[in-house]
Homo-oligomer: A and B are copies of this chain.
Amino acid sequence: MAKDVQRRRDLIAATVREIGETGTLNVTVGQIARRAGVSPGLAFHYFGDKEALFLASMRSILRDYGRGVAAALRAAGRDPRARLAAIVRASFADNQFEGGAVAAWLNFYVLAQTSEEARRLLTLYHRRLHSNLAHDLRPLVGARTDAVAARLAGQIDGTYLRFALNRRVVDAEPAADQVLATLAEALGDGTA
């Protein structure tokens, strides 16, 4: 692979890990560079400034998530219920929790308070999640599609917040089940 591409990747990975471990955006470029095994100056050479590095890390995480969902959907076939379950399961897949990704995720919401681009990226993620859910909800719940999709999406994000708070206490498996339970009820699958 081209050296510069690899360098960028290393720096982005180091950024995510550093944010993840410290739980903060208060991370120095020096720390990130050291973790990537590189001098501080190089980070500026490749990304221009610190915010650009943060944004690149954000895009990377969102892309990973998007890929995870896409793969899960491909594996799920055509049945709407199976596809919905696949989206939820992919949202809580193990790799979403590696390398401090959750804490990074949380901090990206903070970044979005000051960075228009960060806000745009998160809004895009929201839209995609909503539209993914809506696509397979529509044949099942018709007019209630948007409302149900919003509810599921909200619950997924809320669960992530809990993860951010109790790094170890919450477990991915039951978290997914919990969202699926909401889905089952919305579909009227006789749990009431």
Contact = CB atoms under 8 A, between A and B. Distances in A.
A122 B165 contact: yes
Contact of A162 (B154, B178, B187): B154
B162 A157 contact: yes
B192 A178 contact: no
Contact of A22 (B114, B158, B192): B114
Interface stretch (A34-42, A83-91, A102-110): A102-110
B178 A113 contact: no
Total copies of the chain: 2
Contacts of A119: 165
Contact of A178 (B22, B154, B159, B181): B154
Interface in A37-52: none
A96 interface: no
A158 B192 CA distance: 24
Interface stretch (A54-62, A72-80, A145-153): A145-153
A61 to B, nearest CB: 16
Interface of A: 22-26, 103, 106-107, 109-110, 112-114, 119, 122-123, 126, 144, 147, 150-151, 153-159, 161-162, 164-166, 178, 181-182, 185-188, 191-192
